[in-house]
Amino acid sequence: MIKHAALALGLAAVFPAGASTLFPTVGEKGPPQIGIGLAALVENEGYKDGGTETEPLPVFFYQGERLRVLGPQLTYRVLGDRDNYIGLRVDYRFDGYDKDDGAIFDGMEERKSGIAVGVAGQLRAGPGNIYYSAAKSASASKGMYATIQYGIPATVGGWTVTPRAGVEYFNAKYADYYFGVRAHEARTGRPAYAPGSAFNLDVGVDVHRDLGRHHTVFGSVKYRRYDGAIKDSPLMEKGASPRLNIGYLYRF
Rg of the chain (C-alpha set): 18
pLDDT digits (tens, 9 = 90+) for 123-165: 999 999 999 999 999 988 899 999 999 999 999 998 999 999 9
Give, in order, the Cα–Cα distances in Å from 26 to each of 69, 74, 77, 165, 206. Answer: 10, 11, 6, 21, 19
Residue 89 confidence (pLDDT): 94
pLDDT tens-digit series, residues 167-225: 999 999 999 999 999 999 999 999 999 999 999 999 999 998 989 889 989 888 999 99
Q: What is the per-residue pLDDT across 65-109, written as a single tens digit (0 to 9) for each? A: 889 888 778 899 999 987 899 999 998 887 778 777 788 888 999
CATH number of 2-251: 2.40.160.40
**Residue 16 pLDDT grade (very low, low, confident, very high; cuts 50, 70, 90):** very low
How many whole angstroms separate alpha carbon 58 and alpha carbon 249? 10
* Angle of CA points 64, 71, 8, to nearest 5°: 170
Domain ranges of the chain: 2-251
